[in-house]
Amino acid sequence: MSVRTLRAGTSMMSGFSLNTFTEEQLELIHFASLEILRDVGVKVELEEAVQIFASAGCMVEKYDDYSIVKIPSYVVEDCLRWAPSSIVFYGREQKDDYAVDGKRTGASPFGENVQVIDRQSRKVRRSVKHDLAQATLMCDYYDLVPMVERSMCSGDQIPGAQTLHNFEAMVTNTSKHLLLSFGRGDSAKKVLEMAYAVAGSKENFEKRPFVTAFVCPTSPLVLVKQCCEGTITAARGSAGVAIIPMALSGATAPATLGGTLVQHNAEVLSTLVLAQLTKKGTPTMYCTCSTIMDLRFTVAAVGAPEWGMLSAALARVAQYYKLPFWGNGGQTDSKLVDAQAGYESSLTMLLTTLSGANITYGAGCLESGLTFDFAKFVLDIENFSRVSKVIAGIDLSDESLALDIIKEVGPGGEFMTHPHTFKHMREMSMSTIFDRRNREVWMDLTGGKDVTERAYVEAERILKVHKAVPVSEDTISVMDKIIKEFESQLEKNLTTLH
């Protein structure tokens, strides 16, 4: 059976939800985006992509090393119809399939952190392949994480081959669906070659593609060569694409959230058109990594309210298009797992999840997306369980209203020993790391350790006891051979250049 997580705010469940726009406002955003694509267009830096656009009737203005492509509205709307609205994000194992149909929601880590807080020394250092492997194993452990993003980079590997190492570290430590950048066209093809090996054949992968490629339009309104190559290669190779603009309001997008919203949407739609024109029906996920630029410090603020506001708004836009949505939530600008981290993470996580995002990503993120912390990851997943309780809402069925039980117990009675309580008590929220005991018991059990230290202990426990569904040694050997051959070719190319 497919994994089916909790619905957020649908009328059939009386859940809590956040509705940010009316249908008329959504149409306004849509038509404004179409106007940008029709009249302004997008800068496209790959000639192959330009030809794909042109073959569908888009208007092309050629320059020396790029083209401006203007996309007619009918092309956009045709491609939106071709993009599937109900998607199964397949795992390596059928038990890990994540069926996205509407507002089902789950959590995932932020990516790609380039640093990590070392669990032993508690000092910040560059992330390495083993860190990514362990973070992926943590994701495999938690049921609340139905899909796994690349949380860190393999910083100890050759830069040009890091994408391949990232894939290997992830696929050998979880059987859930994977999301990561495929990189340039050459590395993207190699990632797919490795995925085919894991699946047993290209044909097997085409039936159950278990990895989706992140592709990033560059704000404002540019499809750079890597974005185009990644989109085209993934679509042709039967992988899905997750389109994730990173517009910065006040820097690479208008200083108003409305303008940023429309530009972001136009960037998603332009990339979606490329994916669908490449291969009709390519699974496409609508994503966001857009926020404000704090112009005082020239930093992208991921702990800001606007981070969650844009995400909640774009969730509604994605739902308008009937596309699955991957949204911000749980990140912080703090450098430590402290009160600032808790406040900022909770606000954006709640906003995005209440909006019905299919994935709320950000668990483990510190320092504006630069640093991963294992303790924060544990705490964020626990916090997501609390948010999930909120979005479930309050059941008003006869069983839940319990009028007969209230009448039976009567004034001055007690409910603790009643069979109705035993029947429903496990429906109440429960904490694992967050502590509800009185101070005396808390001191006896924890020795007064704060929640961060206890979260580090929990992370160590998980990494010690949890095992992912293994990949065969023969398959690992095939992947290692692909990586070594690719690295060898990179070295030859570098030698030729010099």
> Over the Cα atoms of the chain, what is R_g?
24
- Per DSSP, helices labelled H in 200-304 are 202-207, 225-236, 257-278
Contact residues for 248 (Cβ-Cβ < 8 A; gap 6+): 219, 290, 291, 292, 293, 300
User: What per-residue string of b and e applies to 50-81 under the rule 16 or more CB within 10 Å gives b?
Assistant: bebbeebebeeeeeeebbbbbbeeebbebbbe
Task: Give the residues of the chain that fall short of pLDDT 70.
Answer: 1-2, 4, 6-14, 497-498
Cβ(268)–Cβ(243) below 8 Å: yes
**pTM of the predicted model, to two decimals?**
0.94
In angstroms, the CA 375 to CA 456 distance is: 5
- Determine how many CB atoms are found less than 10 A away from the CB of residue 411: 5
All structural domains of the chain, each given as residue ranges with its CATH number in brackets, are 1-394+429-498 (3.20.20.480)
Contact residues for 275 (Cβ-Cβ < 8 A; gap 6+): 79, 83, 231, 234, 235, 241, 243, 282, 284
In angstroms, the CA 279 to CA 262 distance is: 26
Q: Is the peptide bond before 399 cis (omega within 30 degrees of 0)?
A: no
- Determine the 3-state secondary structure of 446 from DSSP: helix
- Determine the 3-state secondary structure of 178 from DSSP: strand
- At residue 297, the pLDDT reads 93
- At residue 478, the pLDDT reads 98
pLDDT, tens only, 445-492: 999 999 999 999 999 999 999 999 999 999 999 999 999 999 999 998
In angstroms, the CA 240 to CA 323 distance is: 12
pLDDT, tens only, 162-215: 999 999 999 999 999 999 999 999 999 999 999 999 999 999 999 999 999 999
DSSP element (H, E) containing 216: none
- At residue 6, the pLDDT reads 66
